[in-house]
Amino acid sequence: MKISILGTGYVGAVTGACFAELGNSVVFVDIDPAKLDLIRTGRSPIFEPGLDELLGKNLKRISATTDTGEAIRETDVTFICVGTPSNPDGSIDLQYIEAASQAIGEVLRQKESWHTVVMKSTVVSGTTAGIVQRTLEEASEKVAFRDFGLASNPEFLREGSALADVFSPDRIVIGAEDPRSREVLERLYSSFDCPKLVCAIPVAEMIKYVSNAFLATKISFANEIGNLCKLMGIDTAEVFEGVGLDARINPAFFRSGIGFGGSCFPKDVRALIAQAEEMGVLPKILQSVMAVNEDQPMRLLDLLKKHIPDLRGKRIGVLGLSFKPDTDDIRESRAIPIVSALLEAGADVIAYDPLAIANFRSLFPDISYASSAAEVLQSDAVLLITEWKGFEVLDYAGKIVIDGRRVPKAAIGSIYEGVCW
């Protein structure tokens, strides 16, 4: 199949490389020539383990251009993978989706052969059948499902394990309402033997949001229960081990700690809240999920202040800046509110992260950055924010350690407090 990918951010880069690996020819489109230059030489524009190798291995099936027209004319299917940032009120900003739809529509006006447009970006339910379809139809002067195909195919990729998530998915969701679009997506995924759910386009879009919202709910639930267990002197991890053994519940995403960050959970839960409110529904559970998540990092600070009540002039070590291990991504990282609060309290912060220092420095240029994790231990107290593997082998003996992620070895600190244990 000949596939064009609009947008070479996280989703576009991973999706395109994986489609090439499956034997398709893939044209990447972006407005940023620097990203395309990287792709052309087999290097990923984003950090994801294994992605450089996958791009490099499939270079003969990959091309890259800033010319949307050329890419769409030369391919049969286009995946929209552009960003959907948040508006200040939490709703999603659809300007890039609209611009992509407009650009595709203008090319489709002249294109005679059948073309299928697939929405891969995370968009709230109703977007594809609404603004996307309308813009495509107006710009192309054609009718969706009759003159060109339109479908939704949400992704469920986790940063750090995105390639495994593409090649071994739990399920593939195909939102398709015309037989040709459905057939295109079924053919594309024919080698996968996982469940494939074919549904209406708004259902596919909703599945993506509800999956993320539910996983975020599990985490906030585990954190609320974890806060209670800590007060009761009960090991919350053991509690959730027992709870997760119930097949109706499942053990995943019950790790309590300082909450969830990243580019998806916070943004998607906020967008679902905004959509519910727009529809006149009060999303009480989702609001609580966010409220618990916002309070949780502050609990780490409260625990620290229990041992060092006045943080002014104290050197506080921060281990981990990325929103989770194995990524340089700091979007919505719990390190952000924690470092802000430390600075507000007058602390002198020294931080370390194996990958995310450069990104964090752009937000916090004035804190100190260590060149090793061990250097951070030379401080009055250490906060564990991200559970990088390398932090498990440090010598915490004699240190005050406040742990937000449950790093087992850290418990040998002279004072050790886990946020929920």
Closest CA to 350 of 331, 323, 378: 378
- Cβ 333 to ligand UDX, closest distance in Å? 7
Largest CA distance in the chain: 73
- Cβ 215 to ligand UDX, closest distance in Å? 6
**Binding to ligand UDX by residue 331, rule CB under 6 A?**
no
Q: Which is nearer to ligand UDX, 148 or 352 (CB)?
A: 352
Rounded Cα–Cα distance for residues 380 and 399 (Å):
8
**Binding to ligand UDX by residue 262, rule CB under 6 A?**
yes
User: Distance from first CA to last CA of the chain, Å, rounded?
Assistant: 52
- Which residue in 159, 224, 328, 353 binds ligand UDX (CB under 6 A)? 159
**Binding to ligand UDX by residue 7, rule CB under 6 A?**
no
Contact window for ligand UDX (CB under 6 A) among 39-47, 185-193, 259-267, 377-385: 259-267
Question: How would you label 229-262 residue by residue, b for 16+ Cβ within 10 Å and e otherwise?
Answer: bbeeeeebbebbeeebeeeeeeeebbbbbbbbbb
Contact window for ligand UDX (CB under 6 A) among 75-83, 253-261, 276-284, 365-373: 253-261
- Which residue in 175, 202, 257, 317 binds ligand UDX (CB under 6 A)? 257
**Binding to ligand UDX by residue 261, rule CB under 6 A?**
yes
Provide the 3-class DSSP secondary structure of residue 297.
Answer: helix
- Cβ 282 to ligand UDX, closest distance in Å? 25
**Binding to ligand UDX by residue 354, rule CB under 6 A?**
no
Question: How would you label 268-307 residue by residue, b for 16+ Cβ within 10 Å and e otherwise?
Answer: bbbbbbbbebeeeeebeebeebbebbebbbebbbebbeee
Q: Which is nearer to ligand UDX, 62 or 219 (CB)?
A: 219
Contact window for ligand UDX (CB under 6 A) among 99-107, 188-196, 252-260, 409-417: 252-260
**Binding to ligand UDX by residue 323, rule CB under 6 A?**
yes
Run of H or E residues at 185:
helix 179-188
- Which residue in 142, 158, 196, 305 binds ligand UDX (CB under 6 A)? 158
- Cβ 263 to ligand UDX, closest distance in Å? 6
Sheet with 315-319, strands from edge to edge, namely: 368-369, 348-352, 315-319, 381-384, 400-403, 415-418
- Which residue in 96, 148, 209, 265 binds ligand UDX (CB under 6 A)? 265
**Binding to ligand UDX by residue 157, rule CB under 6 A?**
yes
Contact window for ligand UDX (CB under 6 A) among 13-21, 106-114, 251-259, 305-313: 251-259
Residue 264 annotated in active site? yes
Q: Cβ of 152: how many Cβ atoms within 10 Å? A: 33
**Binding to ligand UDX by residue 260, rule CB under 6 A?**
yes
Contact positions with ligand UDX (CB under 6 A) in 208-227: 212, 215, 219
Token representation of residue 323: 């929103």
Rounded Cα–Cα distance for residues 64 and 369 (Å):
37
Q: Which is nearer to ligand UDX, 173 or 184 (CB)?
A: 173
Q: Which residue has the tokens 């609580």?
A: 288
Contact window for ligand UDX (CB under 6 A) among 15-23, 150-158, 362-370, 392-400: 150-158
**Binding to ligand UDX by residue 254, rule CB under 6 A?**
yes
Number of chain residues interacting with ligand UDX (CB under 6 A): 20
Q: What type of residue is 26?
A: V
Closest CA to 78 of 56, 107, 51, 57: 107
**Binding to ligand UDX by residue 47, rule CB under 6 A?**
no
Q: Which is nearer to ligand UDX, 148 or 209 (CB)?
A: 209
Long-range contacts, 176-181 (Cβ 8 Å, 24+):
176/149, 176/151, 176/152, 176/201, 177/145, 177/150, 177/151, 177/201, 178/145, 178/146, 178/149, 178/150, 180/114, 180/116, 180/149, 181/116, 181/118, 181/145, 181/149, 181/150, 181/151
- Cβ 297 to ligand UDX, closest distance in Å? 11
Contact window for ligand UDX (CB under 6 A) among 261-269, 307-315, 351-359, 364-372: 261-269
Which of 18, 229, 264, 420 is catalytic? The answer is: 264
Distance of CA 2 to the CA centre of its chain: 27
Rounded Cα–Cα distance for residues 130 and 152 (Å):
13
**Binding to ligand UDX by residue 370, rule CB under 6 A?**
no
Token representation of residue 144: 């969706």
Cα R_g (the chain), whole angstroms: 23
- Which positions are annotated as active-site residues? 264
Residues lying near ligand UDX in the complex (CB under 6 A) are found at 155-159, 212, 215, 219, 253-255, 257, 259-262, 264-265, 323-324
